[in-house]
Amino acid sequence: MKRTVEEKCQYNKCRKGSFSSGYCYGVSLYRDYPKHDEEGKMLTQALVNVAKVRAREGQQFSKGLLCGYRDKANERKEKLSLISKQAPRRGDYKHGDRR
């Protein structure tokens, strides 16, 4: 059984550790990204880049942040792939596919 990101986030909230805190922060960071203005988006990208470097050094909070960010992104991609398996809508045809 595959757990959803929300279930994982609830589980990590109960654990109270550096990795767990980072995981929940990464999920909320990804969820709030579209709501930010350009400056907020740049800050988010910078934070993720710094977390990537820190995670390679072994920092648990950064590892959790990147895992939460990745899980939320993969969940979004999975939902989009389910939508794309539906019948194509008007305007969704690729060049040369029109009949």
pLDDT per residue rounded down to tens, the chain (99 residues): 788 888 888 888 888 889 999 999 999 999 999 899 999 999 999 999 999 999 999 999 999 999 999 999 998 888 888 777 666 666 656 666 555
Q: Where do the domains of the chain lie?
A: 5-84
Residue whose structure tokens are 């757990």:
3
Q: Cβ contacts of residue 82 below 8 Å, gap of 6+?
A: none
DSSP E strands in the chain: the ranges are: none
Distances in Å between the Cα of 91 and the Cα atoms of 65, 79, 95, 96, 97 are 37, 20, 10, 13, 11
Q: Cβ contacts of residue 67 below 8 Å, gap of 6+?
A: 19, 22, 23, 26
